[in-house]
Chain A
Amino acid sequence: MPVLNGRELRIVGFLCNWCSYGGADTAGVARFDQPTDLRIIRVPCSGRIDPLFIAKAFMNGADGVLVSGCHPRDCHYSEGNYYARRRLEVFKQFITVLGIEPERFEYTWVSASEGQRWQEVVTKFTDQVHALGPMAPIPEVALSKLAQTEGTDLRTAITEEA
């Protein structure tokens, strides 16, 4: 049973195919306990990650985003994670101006053999996001507009019109 049963948050994890995805797998094979809030998306390399993936995840209701790739000097494609490191650091500092706490986004390096480290990373990050709690959703429609239509069932309004 997950420790945080019923109190899970939505955390999106972008993991590099060659290291961190393997690391998460290693942690699973070794049966290390981990929180279950994280939904993993496997990407070919941390260098593949456009910071906009992360922005989009937050827009669509993620409470936290974790990016994990190979350790610097260990990249399967030699230098993908070096570019990623710069981009992700810039993005992490940028989101504060949007009103997103920088602790909701982390990037880290975990190799395929580091099951133990993966457990540590995912636990600490999940705790960190839980400490902040769920993120106020970025509404599809402005709250002021919603307030105007409140009380009207839009669906009936449309059918009645027709």
Chain B
Amino acid sequence: MMLDQLKETIKTALPELDFVMGWTTGYDPLHATPLYMYEPDDVDQLIWGPLNVHNLAVHLPALRHKKVGIVVKGCDSRSVVELLQENLIDRENVVIFGAPCNGVVDMTKIRKAVPDAHFARSVETADNSLTITTDKDTHTLSLAEVMADKCTRCRFPNAVEADHFVGEKRIPAVETDPYADLESFESQGFAERRDFWMAEMDRCIRCYACRNACPLCVCRDHCVAQSREPHWVSQRDGVRDKFMFQVIHAIHMAGRCTECGECERACPMDIPVLLLKRKLGNVIHDLFDYDAGLDAEARPPLLAFKLEEDSIKEKDW
């Protein structure tokens, strides 16, 4: 069994480490929560499966002075690589435990499929389905039905970098990202697109969960959303400031975002903010043939230039 193997690997490595981060069952069987494993006993609580939604890499920069282990899905591993590339963490202080990922669930989709999901008594996860037993009923959902959108276009189900990889590598869902979601959004007119964002941003409660869950939002106390000098966004709750914040967040992710989707997952209002980052990812990919978080040694495209750019046409006027 892969999970047992993973637990054994962590237990073997644990004496050399301060602790290892993973997931365990949270306040109800449907919600996982981060688990910090200090002792071999803690490791027994570890779970692995479609409920491991969090990207634990977000904690790494703050733990730089510690020697920590981290359990990663494929997408999480890209965040780790990106943090390494930006020199925000030290490779010798991080031990990466990888395992093949079959996709994680989207809680919003589950809530839609199972209205009484908040009263889940037990959850059984199988390879391609999960069975939720609530007070009233038992629902069996196929994983494909409730999987996060990012998993349907996953190119890296296996960690791109790992010190310990457990289990058999999975075949990616797609070879190249077709950006179909972006294409269908951009088939609308410009006015419709703007109206869409205005309506979405109106729901935003400015909780900044999108920022706090993002493993690459690393300005911390210097976030422009809270700085007074310069005063980039005001404290008002109008759509303009909220929209501006999302533009700031997206632009600061340009060439760095690995599209792990934590911003969107953490959003309590289900605002599709990942779309903005997907657009930037697509642009960067087309212009510079570059994907973030694949190679810790690569040079990020916006920190470099070519005298003659291959894909940027000079203006005729």
| Residues of chain A having any CB pair with chain B under 8 Å | 51-52, 55-56, 59, 72-73, 79, 82-83, 85-87, 89-91, 93-94, 96-101, 106-109, 120-121, 124, 136, 138-145
Cβ–Cβ contact A52 & B238, under 8 A: no
| Residues of chain B having any CB pair with chain A under 8 Å | 182, 185-186, 190-199, 201-202, 232, 236, 238-240, 243-244, 247-248, 250-251, 254-255, 275-276, 279-280, 283-284, 286-288, 301-307, 309, 312, 314-315, 317
Out of A56, A87, A98, A120, which one reaches B317, CB within 8 Å?
Answer: A120
Cβ–Cβ contact B275 & A97, under 8 A: yes
Chain B residues whose CB sits within 8 angstroms of the CB of A96 once the complex forms = 186, 190, 193, 279
9 contacts between A and B (CB under 8 A): A56-B244, A82-B305, A86-B301, A87-B254, A93-B283, A96-B186, A139-B240, A142-B201, A145-B202
Contact A85-B312, Cβ < 8 Å, known A142-B238, A145-B202: yes
Nearest A residue to B311, CB-CB? A89
Cβ–Cβ contact B302 & A121, under 8 A: no
Min CB–CB distance B181 → chain A (angstroms) = 11
Q: SS class of chain A's interface: helix, strand, loop or mixed?
A: helix
Q: Give the distance in Å from the alpha carbon of A72 to the alpha carbon of B317 in the complex.
A: 14
Cβ–Cβ contact A89 & B287, under 8 A: yes
Cβ–Cβ contact B283 & A94, under 8 A: yes
Cβ–Cβ contact B309 & A86, under 8 A: yes
Min CB–CB distance B185 → chain A (angstroms) = 7
16 new A-B contacts, CB < 8 A, other than A56-B244, A99-B194, A120-B317, are: A73-B307, A85-B305, A86-B302, A93-B283, A94-B254, A94-B279, A94-B280, A94-B283, A96-B190, A109-B315, A136-B191, A138-B239, A142-B199, A142-B201, A143-B198, A145-B202
Nearest A residue to B284, CB-CB? A90
Cβ–Cβ contact B192 & A140, under 8 A: no
Q: Give the distance in Å from the alpha carbon of A73 to the alpha carbon of B308 in the complex.
A: 10
Nearest B residue to A123, CB-CB? B317
Cβ–Cβ contact B191 & A99, under 8 A: yes
Cβ–Cβ contact A141 & B317, under 8 A: no
Cβ–Cβ contact B238 & A140, under 8 A: yes
Chain A residues whose CB sits within 8 angstroms of the CB of B255 once the complex forms = 90
Q: Give the distance in Å from the alpha carbon of A94 to the alpha carbon of B285 in the complex.
A: 12
Chain A residues whose CB sits within 8 angstroms of the CB of B286 once the complex forms = 93
Cβ–Cβ contact A142 & B190, under 8 A: no
Min CB–CB distance A95 → chain B (angstroms) = 9
Chain B residues whose CB sits within 8 angstroms of the CB of A101 once the complex forms = 190
Chain A residues whose CB sits within 8 angstroms of the CB of B305 once the complex forms = 79, 82-83, 85-86
Nearest B residue to A143, CB-CB? B198
Cβ–Cβ contact B317 & A138, under 8 A: no
Cβ–Cβ contact A98 & B186, under 8 A: no
Min CB–CB distance A146 → chain B (angstroms) = 10
Chain B residues whose CB sits within 8 angstroms of the CB of A59 once the complex forms = 240, 243-244, 247
Chain B residues whose CB sits within 8 angstroms of the CB of A87 once the complex forms = 254, 302
Cβ–Cβ contact B193 & A141, under 8 A: no
Chain A residues whose CB sits within 8 angstroms of the CB of B314 once the complex forms = 109
Cβ–Cβ contact A56 & B232, under 8 A: yes
Q: Give the distance in Å from the alpha carbon of A144 to the alpha carbon of B198 in the complex.
A: 10
Q: Give the distance in Å from the alpha carbon of A100 to the alpha carbon of B247 in the complex.
A: 12
Contact A52-B247, Cβ < 8 Å, known A83-B305, A90-B254, A139-B198: yes
Chain B residues whose CB sits within 8 angstroms of the CB of A139 once the complex forms = 198, 238-240
Nearest A residue to B313, CB-CB? A89
The 6 closest A-B pairs by CB, nearest first: A99-B194, A99-B193, A82-B305, A142-B202, A97-B279, A140-B238
Min CB–CB distance B284 → chain A (angstroms) = 6
Min CB–CB distance A1 → chain B (angstroms) = 25
